[in-house]
Amino acid sequence: MADTVVKTPKLDELEKGKWPSFVKEIKMAAKTSPMAQDLLGQLELSYEQKLGHWKHGGIVGVMGYGGGVIGRYSDMPDKFPNVSHFHTIRINQPSGWFYTSKALRTLCDIWEKHGSGLTNMHGSTGDIIFLGTSTPHLEPIFSELTKAGFDLGGSGSDVRTPSCCVGPARCEWACYDTLAMAYDLTMSFQDELHRPAFPYKFKFKMSGCPNDCVASIARSDMSIIGTWRDSIQIDKDAVAEYASRGMDIKADVVDNCPAKCMEWDGKELHIENSYCRRCMHCINVMPKALRPGKDRGATVLIGAKAPIIEGALLASVLYPFVKIEAPYQQIKDVVAKIWDVWCEEGKNRERIGEFIQRVGLGNFLDAIEVEPVAEMVAHPRENPYVFYEEYFEEDETAEEQK
């Protein structure tokens, strides 16, 4: 197709430089895909005009599913007919983003037949993204994907594809099995994932420790972050080894402890564990000497989101500590209650975090039958306008005083 190659002087600039170039990737795909060629043409125009040329998504999908495909259409179909349809397909990634070369090749073969040959590995939520196909290809892609053991991810007002950190598969700090939990929740909520029925999206993210490698505290409606209740495990010899190899344990470790609960006398490291905030700093710095405790579980937080609509939120504590073991019943039970309340009373496009802000955390806890605990707030209220729900009448007080 060398004769139809479009001129892209602006994009060509982005082939230079040391960082891997997405333009080279599109050009690789354009060798065989007319779609990728027209994408180059349209993108070059966007670079000239400083303006995107995609229309608002339309409703497209595969039979029986309401999510997983994002409709996308060019606003210049006459000029770029091969991207007049350019839909995205979200494919549920395996937990921890592990693959075999064989599985990757299978995905590539399907996508070579039915789409632009361009992907994101991976999208922001965690899915495998197939970027650019047309409506008639959707059912064939779906059928080939499911035959190969893959299924679509979430989109729209549904459970979005859960994602997790690498966890016990390769990390010594994992306080629970993030891969197993992500897989279990994904399988348990298949219906909620494929058939949008919520006020808005609902994301689960699982991190094995407070380092939170999948940014769950910033990005998920329910964030499950591994932690421990007992004492940090100390290997004294390894501490001494770090010291002898030149680590300044006072400056690097002790002085950076946010709880100021560590002491180092040049020989022995002491941690007052009842004050430790489980921040991970000391463990991160001395992985050979310090490890999370043995009584492990997770802190469950709720309500993180980006700004749209009412402003960004970080997740806040729902359960300070939960043991995380299959079948995760305590979590599933509370999730069911949360969804009930939110589906009943949530407004259209209101994330759970915004819903909680609107009705108040106290009222929300009542509705989902969870007892308030001090760990849920940064500090108790400063304002004295308290809503008491009951008060005494004269005669009741008299009754009581009898």
Partner 1 sequence: MPEVMQERLTDIGPPHYDKFLPPIVKENYGKWRYHEVIKPGVMVHVSETGKKLFTVRAASPRLISIEKIRNYADLADKYCDGYLRFTSRHNVEFLLTKEENIDPLIKDLRVLGHPVGGIQNSISSIVHTQGWIHCHSAATDASGIVKSVMDELVGYFETMVLPGKLRIALACCLNMCGAVHCSDIAILGIHRRPPKIDHENLHKTCEIPSVSASCPTAAIRPATVGGKPSVEVIEERCMFCANCYTVCPSMKLNDPLNDGVSIWVGGKVSNARHEPMFSKLAIPFLPNNPPRWPEVTDAVKGLVELWAKNARKYERMGEWINRIGWPKFFQMAGIEFQKEHIDDFKHAGLTYKRSTHLTF
* Residue 320 touches which member of partner 1, ligand SF4, none, C-beta under 5-8 Å by kind: none
How many residues form the binding site for partner 1 (CB under 8 A)?
A: 125
Residue 307 interacting partner from partner 1, ligand SF4, none (CB closer than 5 to 8 Å by kind): partner 1
Nearest-angstrom CA–CA distance, 100 and 123 = 19
- Determine which residue in the list 136, 258, 266, 327 makes contact with partner 1, applying CB under 8 A: 258
State yes or no: residue 52 binds partner 1 (CB under 8 A). yes
What are the two backbone dihedrals, phi and then psi, of residue 144, each rounded to the nearest 5 degrees? -70, -35
Site for partner 1 in 282-341 (CB under 8 A): 284-285, 287-288, 291, 306-312, 314
For residue 245, which amino acid is it? Answer: R
Give the nearer residue to ligand SF4 in terms of CB position, either 261 or 370.
261
Q: Would you state the structure tokens that stand for residue 302, as one six-digit string?
A: 């709720």
Count Cα neighbours of 229 within 13 Å in the Cβ-side half-sphere.
10
Please compute, for residue 344, the number of CA atoms within 13 A of its CA located in the half-sphere on the CB side: 10
Q: Is 34 exposed, middle or buried (0-12, 13-18, 19+ CB in 10 A)?
A: middle
Asked, as a colleague might, if the bond just before 122 is cis with ω within 30 of 0, I would say yes
Residue, CB closest to ligand SF4? 208
Sole window of 105-113, 196-204, 262-270, 369-377 interacting with partner 1 (rule: CB under 8 A)? 105-113
Q: How far is the CB of 245 from partner 1 (least distance, A)?
A: 12
Q: Is 215 in the site for partner 1 (CB under 8 A)?
A: yes
290 versus 331: smaller Cβ distance to partner 1: 290
Amino acid type, 148: A
**Candidates 279-287, 323-331, 359-367, 383-391; binding stretch for partner 1 (CB under 8 A):** 279-287
Q: Which is nearer to partner 1, 251 or 398 (CB)?
A: 251
With a CB cutoff of 8 Å and minimum separation 6, the contacts of 245 are: none
In the complex, which residues of this chain contact ligand SF4 (CB under 6 A)? 165-167, 171, 173-174, 207-209, 211-213, 257-259, 261-262, 271, 276-282
Could you give the C-alpha distances from 218 to 243, 304, 305, 315, 350, in angstroms and in order?
A: 36, 5, 6, 6, 17
In angstroms, rounded to a whole number, what is the distance separating the alpha carbons of residues 253 and 220?
30
Report the residue from 81, 112, 326, 336 that binds partner 1 according to the rule CB under 8 A: 112
Q: How far is the CB of 277 from partner 1 (least distance, A)?
A: 8
- Under 8 Å between Cβ of 318 and 337: no
From the list ligand SF4, partner 1, none, which binds 208 (C-beta under 5 to 8 Å, kind-based)?
A: ligand SF4
- DSSP letter, residue 57: P
